Copies of this chain bind each other. A is one copy, B any other.
Amino acid sequence: MSTTTGIKEVARRAGVSIGTVSNVLNRPELVASSTRQRVLDAIAELGYVRNDSARQLRAGHSRQIALVVLDVTNPFFTDVVRGAEAAAEEHGVMVVVCNSGEDAGREHRHLDLLEEQRVRGVLITPVDESPNSRLELLIQRGTPVVLVDRGTGRHSRCSVAVDDVLGGRLAGEHLVEQGHRRITFVGGPASITQVRERHAGISAAVAGKAELSVVPTPNLTVAAGRAAAAEIDAAAGSTAVFCANDLVALGVLQGLTQRGIRVPQDVAIVGYDDIEFAAAAAVPLSSVRQPREQLGRTATALLLEEIEDDGRHEHRHVVFQPELIVRESSGRPRTRRPSQRDSPKGR
């Protein structure tokens, strides 16, 4: 039905061989300008559209890179996407965004398809980090992969991350300093590295200074946070909550408010990511800020570099530092107005 017009038709129409048409498309400088023009005209008249499958088949690989995120719905990741797209665009590469939805099965299926498409490289925040995951297989078979927002360490790939342990620690130190002695960490599942590391960070920071309890969540969404709120004071009369990300924090904030618990007077909250909506929340949210777009940009740059250095490539691990942004949700109770320093971030 649709485009049945191939390079062949174009060739006939322009009165040249198909090799010449191909040259016009790929190495125009090899073709005499009069011929070139004739071919170009034919292309325009016929509405010819290159067939990428054929091209890829010949080339052996595609011209796109994939970005597999944990949750498209999470503003943190959409910002990462933006960064990645920006960097990719500069190199004329297209980014395919895939959403694993924190589901190992979907991640697996996406990787299957991507490998079948001979994707040029993959940026991923994996759900499944087990040593014989689908991802490992992909890497082992030779597809360049850059881990986004994930652990350093492994030497078989590049990674871009933010120091989550430090982030957790910043939050912990801040809360202890504010006088909190019973703190609850909300987040899960523990299979997600960030969750573990942020927990480890606050754990280290409060050790010996405050008690830390945990309310696990099945995932990192607003709904999960809302549900977790119910267990928060039951969990040990905590006066502060540190959430594994801002979505959960927003949910906790809603849940607590709904139960008549005041934030920050009764319970302080600190989130993580400092998404744009954190500052606009009912009670502006203290949060650990990550350079989200930067993360995407850098990851893409690393990936493209690795693809470039086809021969030998030295894997690198870039680690960014998080920054604690204190807002009302964890301000010193009662002293509502000392030095507000929050300000919506510009862009």
CB of A37 within 8 A of chain B?
Answer: no
Collect the chain B residues with CB atoms within 8 Å of residue A207's CB: none
Q: Give A52 to B133 CA distance when docked, in angstroms.
A: 22
Q: What is the CB-to-nearest-CB distance from A265 to chain B, in angstroms, rounded to a whole number?
A: 13
Q: Which residues in window 287-329 of A have CB below 8 A to B?
A: 310
CB of A342 within 8 A of chain B?
Answer: yes
Collect the chain B residues with CB atoms within 8 Å of residue A342's CB: 344, 346
Q: Give A56 to B56 CA distance when docked, in angstroms.
A: 10
Do A223 and B282 touch (CB < 8 A)?
Answer: no
Bin chain A's interface residue count: 35 or more
CB of A126 within 8 A of chain B?
Answer: no
Do A72 and B97 touch (CB < 8 A)?
Answer: yes
Do A343 and B341 touch (CB < 8 A)?
Answer: no
Q: Give A266 to B111 CA distance when docked, in angstroms.
A: 53
CB of A51 within 8 A of chain B?
Answer: yes
Collect the chain B residues with CB atoms within 8 Å of residue A98's CB: 94, 97
Q: What is the CB-to-nearest-CB distance from A281 to chain B, in angstroms, rounded to a whole number?
A: 6
Q: Which residues in window 59-81 of A have CB below 8 A to B?
A: 61-62, 72-73, 75, 78-79, 81
Do B280 and A250 touch (CB < 8 A)?
Answer: yes
Collect the chain B residues with CB atoms within 8 Å of residue A344's CB: 222, 226, 254, 258, 340-343, 346
Q: What is the CB-to-nearest-CB distance from A267 to chain B, in angstroms, rounded to a whole number?
A: 16
Q: What is the CB-to-nearest-CB distance from A16 to chain B, in angstroms, rounded to a whole number?
A: 22
Known A72-B97, A94-B113: A118·B51 in contact at CB below 8 Å: yes
CB of A49 within 8 A of chain B?
Answer: yes
CB of A54 within 8 A of chain B?
Answer: yes
Q: What is the CB-to-nearest-CB distance from A193 to chain B, in angstroms, rounded to a whole number?
A: 23
Do A50 and B116 touch (CB < 8 A)?
Answer: yes
Collect the chain B residues with CB atoms within 8 Å of residue A221's CB: 347
CB < 8 Å neighbour of A253 from B61, B117, B142, B280: B280
CB of A22 within 8 A of chain B?
Answer: no
Known: A52-B117, A73-B82, A254-B280. 17 other contacts (CB 8 A): A1-B142, A2-B118, A47-B137, A49-B115, A51-B116, A53-B56, A57-B57, A72-B82, A72-B97, A73-B75, A73-B78, A96-B97, A222-B344, A281-B281, A341-B344, A341-B347, A343-B347
